[in-house]
Amino acid sequence: MKVISWNVLHGMAIPPREDDHTEQALARLEQAVKRLEVDVLGLQEIDHQQKRSFHIHHVQEVAHAMQTPYWAFAPTLIGTPGEKWEAIKDVDSKIITHAKGHISESAYGIGLISTIPVKQWHRIELGRSRIGLPLAVPSKRGLGFAYVKDEPRIALVAELENGFTVAVTHLSFVPIVNFLQLKKLQRSLKNLPGTPIIIGDLNLPWNLPQKSGWKSLAQKLTYPSWSPKIQFDYIMAEWQTDSIFTYTEVEIRDLGLSDHLPIGVEITLKK
């Protein structure tokens, strides 16, 4: 089972392209996904019906490229992050799959796509920081800085038929808050069946997630994609799972999208 996490920065090309349009953006996303040859893919910073990303439903299009019906989109907000937005209030809009749920407005969040059948989906609310921070943001002139208000943080969880339970998340960029969110997610997964794995942009550098009591399955500098200096993206598992499976880090090159590189592992169950 190849598991990959990727913060896709709403499918933004790096470097940004002045003449981008819908067909180019779709083709770029589809080609990138096909190159990954992945079984379980967790995505962060994905759009749904956003003008900036040509009104593409990212998760649905990625699932189409992976030729699988097992996908879910969990919006964290209605509107556009960094601009005008509001939290999700409609219960039926909290998890969108091929079989249920619908959002007509622009939305933003995280997604999980699997070629392995999914038995059940879950959404875990992780809260948010009440303060924001000045952050580096990609622009046509390179990196700029802007004060960014934190958004609600969640995890999207899939119980897979093969016995694994995979949670994708994008944690707060505010220190301490993100670590507490990680701990909350770990506690929540103990109440679900299956061997748990956490994947996503944890916004924690220097392998700090291992201080949580879980181990990191991949060591890779993931940010910024054009000259990686730091690891924000992780694949985490409990230490005792050494008796259940082995794993090998997957080599993934820059795919020309996003300010983050994908990170992945190949997992093999022990006999």
DSSP 223: B
pLDDT for 203 equals 97
Structural contact between residues 232 and 202, judged by C-beta atoms closer than 8 angstroms? yes
Say what the pTM is: 0.92
Residues 6+ apart with CB under 8 A from 42: 3, 4, 5, 6, 110, 111, 112, 156, 166, 168, 199, 200
Q: Which of 159, 161, 166, 138 is nearest to 3 (CA)?
A: 166
Residue 265 in tokens: 């592992």
pLDDT for 42 equals 98
pLDDT in single tens digits along all 271 residues of the chain: 999 999 999 988 888 876 677 788 888 888 999 999 999 999 999 999 888 888 889 899 999 999 999 999 999 999 888 788 888 888 778 999 988 877 888 999 999 999 999 999 999 999 988 776 566 665 555 566 665 778 899 999 999 999 999 999 999 999 999 999 999 999 999 999 999 999 999 999 999 999 999 999 999 999 999 999 999 999 999 999 888 999 999 999 889 899 999 999 999 998 7
Could you list the beta-strand ranges (E) of the chain.
2-7, 40-48, 70-79, 85-87, 96-97, 107-114, 118-127, 133-139, 142-148, 153-160, 164-170, 195-201, 214-216, 233-238, 245-250, 263-269
DSSP 218: -
| Collapsed DSSP state (helix, strand, coil) of residue 11 | helix
Structural contact between residues 76 and 19, judged by C-beta atoms closer than 8 angstroms? no
pLDDT for 12 equals 87
pLDDT for 185 equals 98
CATH architecture type of domain 2-117+198-269:
4-Layer Sandwich (3.60)
- Give dist(CA 181, CA 183) in Å, integer: 5
